[in-house]
Structure 1
Amino acid sequence: MSIFDRRAVLTKIERLRSGASPRVLDLFAGCGGLSLGFRAAGFEIAAAVEFDREAARSHGENFHPGDPRHALARDITNTSPEQLARELDLGPVSAAIDVIVGGPPCQAFARVGRSKLREIDEHPEAFMHDPRAQLYLEYLHYVDAFRPLALLMENVPDALNHGGQNIAEETCEVLRDKGYIAGYTLLNASFYGVPQMRERMILIAYREELDVEVEFPAPTHFVKLPPGYTGSRQVALKLLSKAHLADRAHSYHTPPAANPGLPSAVTAATALSDLPKMTDHLVGKLKRGARRFDEIQRYPTSKPVGFAKLMREWPGFESRVGISDHVIRYLPRDWKLFARMNAGDQYPEAHAHALKMFDEALTELRSKTGSAIRSGSKAWEALRASIVPPYDVSKFPNKWRKMEPDLPARTLMAHLGKDSYSHIHYDSAQARTISVREAARLQSFPDGFKFAGTMNPAFKQIGNAVPPLLARAVALKIQETLERAVRNQLDEPIGAAAAV
């Protein structure tokens, strides 16, 4: 470690020892799920880098309102750390940031052949023109420049087994070469108060000078996860059982166990039932077109409790009167089908319901006209198309799902930006897919958090985000570790670094 590196680390330790809040840089920030969780844990959100224009606007408007510099979209591949620090007045790069959070998109660097990520870091010129590796290289470039005391990288569970690579393990190897102690695990958001069973890979690293161990937050809630989640975790962990990892130390940590004695996980009904009901679409009052967030819908009750109270009263993001993004998609063919579906039904069940509804419509039409429509005729095909979705049951079994009210929701995906069939509202009387604000609730975004753009970009931002309550749980553990490390540091003068 160079004298310059050590001086930067000691300067940051001294700053935290004085009582200052750790400063966070959020890379690949999206609209700010990680930032929101870290802010709630007492961190200062100093800066963010996000390529998507609407997501960058959301981040800037929520964390640096009134400062348009923070709302600009930035491409990390052509924005250097020095340029970012200059544009946002962060000060000297090596002293500006204490914690980096985020993570390069897994697909951007996972399929770089069988090359180890360490090799990419050591030989960047060999990968200069490979967009799949470029984002990972830039992330490491930011780590090298800002020299954070701690890192958080978040990704999908497949980062442990993506095309035969354990990207999380390889990332820990790279970080160890750079002077960090690193470890990773899999955490499910439902164990941390999020009304969603979302599994994520969480990697934490600390400067080795801090002399701490990587730890992960203990669960606060319990739910018995469906078999699909258990199976996905087993697939993700498959490489850890291979001889080349089993025979040597690796950086995977078994996640802290959630036990049935904890409070029950927050369910979909608990998360959404205090929001205004929506039935206008069932009586012809909803039209096709862009959905904007310019109409406030008042809360039906002024005395929320539990999760709803937290969502309305989150410090800095309070919403006292109502919500302005309670908007849904225009899906007139399917509203009656949504009402017919049972909780937990997926596309095969939905398609079967639709076929039955089509038969009922044929029977009703024959009763009214006294004659049947010939099977396969244009009239028959038109009636069928107006009732039965066209997707192949064998190819799209998970495309639709009606939420169970007494369970957390299944994982929200960025695909919400294209359609919302994966999260059909559990209330048959409302017969619809979830609204933008309901999606935000299921991710644990408070009601006062604003999403830039219209409905589709907002859905995409929400689906891509890290649940803020999961982020807060991890941030509190990092805060605890940093505070312990700072307390345990010897009172070594900063100038002593010059003698090292």
Structure 2
Amino acid sequence: MKTANLKRKNSLSYIDLFAGAGGLSEGFIRNGFEPIIHVEMNVDACYTLKTRLAYHYLKDNNQLDIYVSYLKGEISRANLYENLPTDLLDSILNLKIDEGNLKYIYKQIDKNLKLRKFKKVDLLIGGPPCQAYSLIGRHGIDWDNDERVKLYKLYGKILAKYKPSMFVFENVPGIVSANKGEYFNDLRNYYDKLGYDVDYQILKAEEFGVLQSRRRVIIIGSLKTKKLAYPEFPKEIERYTVADIFHDLEVLKPGDSISVGKYKKQASEYQIKYNVRNVLDFYTQHISRPHNINDLAIYKIVQDKWNNENHRLKYNDLPNRLRTQNNVSSFLDRFKVVDMNGLSHTLVAHIAKDGHYYIHPTQVRSISVREAARLQSFPDDYFFEGSRTAAFTQIGNAVPPLMSAVLAKKIKEILWVK
């Protein structure tokens, strides 16, 4: 059987749990880490992970033309995957992480460790679904019985099984104060009992080059025997704006879709520095959702207020004829323009439901799939499988690859020393 044989000299192995579309994993692959297993319950995200592994494998083997043919629609996804080793495809597990699936997950991890000639797992990464910990999602949460708030223990069982030198646990800042802080204290105590020193910081994505105001809790644990300190991450001080990533895409009307498009302007300094326009001379998935007449009228008013007066319009400021909701005393921040001359506000998975909170700064529509991906720092060679809605969900839930790449580089330095 042909195997991936991805192991490079001095490479480090890792497992990615709750992998999503691979934003966290991407940074580690870029820094020479070798994925043993990605576990993700969403089927579209799993196909995205497979397609991204196809990109890396084909690029490493000087066969990127096959990947390009797939993006251009010249070959099917099945044709693309035919060019990949079976064990590489099998390393993506489309499974829910629960007690019933743990034995199978262990079996696949052990199998791939042997195939890739690794003696152990060096690192565990992942971020359990964060809805239960977010400020928005706390209402109605049963802290004693909701299975989502116990996922850290399943993460911990895999941690205890393989005892990697370090782990990275990513989540929303709300996890720290959820259930009056008791939940986070339980989490830290649990990992402490497993033999790990645990620390965390709330990191700002914009300090890693991401053009988005985004806060993330990054919990890092290391085996107590290693005596490792929480890494100090370098901060990006140059300031770019959303204009640096929106300028070269074709103008869209609501409902327009460009599957494969040519850049209309030269790459910006930002795009060159951060490899947004990487190995391709085209972009994909510039897809805009349709909007009704009422929403378009609202978008135009909200845009004018922001662009001309630098004012964020509230729902109760709208003319009565445009209001479709009776509630004008709460949730007033329902429509928001992405700031072209600064950072975007935080991109979340709700963008899959509607685009009201992510209105394009100059075109009367919500942002496209490719624009959302760029705000999350995904390069243009990153392809999201599934429908438009599925792509938005994956992007909104992702860890920005620019952020994960900095984390990975620093963790790699630490693990090589130790």
Q: Give the alignment's TM-score, normalised by structure 1.
A: 0.67
1:319 aligns with 2:280: yes
Residue 205 of structure 1: how far off its partner (Å): 1.1
Q: Residue 134 of structure 1: CA displacement?
A: 4.5
SS at match of 1:90: helix
Per the alignment, in what secondary structure is the counterpart of residue 38 of structure 2?
strand
The corresponding residue for 2:373 is: 440
* 1:351–1:107 CA distance, 2 compared to 1 (3 A): closer
Partner of 1:216: 232
- In structure 2, the residue matched to 1:305 is 269
* Structure 2 match to 1:452: 385
Asked if the contact 2:206–2:213 (Cα under 8 Å) also holds between the matched residues in 1, the reply is: yes
Report what 2:29 is aligned to. Answer: 39
Does the CA-based 8 Å contact 1:33-1:466 persist in structure 2? yes
Distance in 1 separating the partners of 2:186 and 2:235: 27
How far apart are the structure 2 equivalents of 1:70 and 1:395? 46
- 1:268 has 2:242 as partner: yes
Gaps in structure 2 of 5+ consecutive residues = 1-6, 56-80, 82-87
**Partner SS for 1:91:** helix
2: distance between equivalents of 1:311 and 1:389? Answer: 42
Which deviations, in whole Å up to 9, do the C-alpha atoms of 1:72-115 show, x marking residues without a partner?
521111322554543783136994421111122345689675x8
Q: For this pair of structures, how many residues does the alignment match? A: 366
Q: Does residue 163 of structure 1 match 2:201?
A: no
8 A contact 1:30–1:50 mirrored in 2: yes
| 2: CA distance, partners of 1:301 / 1:26 | 37
Letter in 2 for 1:307: Q
Q: Distance in 2 between matches of 1:389 and 1:298?
A: 39
1:371 is aligned to none
Note if contact 1:347-1:393 (Cα within 8 Å) is conserved in structure 2: no
Summarize the Cα distance change of 1:275–1:424 in structure 2 as closer, same or farther, 3 Å threshold: same
Partner of 1:398: 333
Residues 178, 184 of structure 2: 8 Å contact kept: no
Letter in 1 for 2:230: V
- 1:297: how far off? 1.5
User: Which residue is equivalent to 1:497?
Assistant: none
Q: Is 2:97 aligned against 1:76?
A: yes
1:98 aligns with 2:114: no
CA shift at 1:440, angstroms? 0.5
The residue correspondences of 1:49-448 to structure 2 (distance < 5 A) are 49-64=39-54, 66=81, 67-77=88-98, 78-80=100-102, 83-86=105-108, 89-91=111-113, 95-106=119-130, 113=143, 131-221=147-237, 263-264=238-239, 266-278=240-252, 280-281=253-254, 286=255, 295-307=259-271, 310-314=274-278, 318-321=279-282, 323-333=283-293, 334-341=295-302, 342-343=305-306, 345-346=311-312, 348=314, 352-355=317-320, 384=321, 387-390=322-325, 392-427=327-362, 430-448=363-381
Q: Which digits, 9 at most, give the CA deviation of each residue in 1:414-433, with x for residues without a partner?
A: 11111111111111xx2111
- d(CA) in 1 for partners of 2:114, 2:246: 45
C-alpha distance 134-218 of structure 1, shift in aligned 2 (>3 A): same
| Cα separation, 2, equivalents of 1:46 and 1:307 | 31
In the TM superposition, residue 153 of structure 1 has moved relative to its aligned partner by 0.5
User: Partners in 1 of 2:265 and 2:110 — Cα distance?
Assistant: 42
TM-score, normalised to structure 2, is 0.79
CA distance in 2, matches of 1:277, 1:88: 49
Residues 303/273 of structure 1: CA separation in 2 closer, same or farther (3 Å cut): closer
> Computing the radius of gyration over CA atoms, which structure comes out larger, 1 or 2?
1
Distance 1:473 1:178 in 2: 27
- The verdict on how the C-alpha distance between 1:133 and 1:403 changes in structure 2, with shifts beyond 3 A counting, is closer
Alignment partners' CA distance in 1, 2:166 and 2:268: 37
Relative distance call for 1:38 and 1:91 in structure 2 (3 A) is: closer
CA contact (8 A) 2:129 2:148 kept: no
Give the whole-Å Cα distance in 2 for the aligned partners of 1:391 and 1:275: 38
C-alpha separation in 2, matches of 1:167 and 1:216: 26
**Aligned alpha-carbon RMSD (Å):** 2.8
**Counterparts of 1:42 and 1:267, CA distance in 2:** 30
Q: Alpha-carbon deviation of 1:332?
A: 3.1
Look up the equivalent residue of 2:343 and give its one-letter code.
P
CA distance in structure 2 between the partners assigned to 1:404 and 1:86 by the alignment: 45
Structure 1 residues without counterparts, runs of 5 or longer: 1-15, 116-128, 222-262, 356-383, 486-500
Quote the offset at 1:130 in angstroms.
6.0
Task: Check conservation: 2:36, 2:109, Cα contact below 8 A.
Answer: no
Partner SS state of residue 380, structure 2? coil
Residues 339-386 of structure 1, C-alpha deviations (whole Å, 9 max, x = no match): 3323265452x663545xxxxxxxxxxxxxxxxxxxxxxxxxxxx4xx
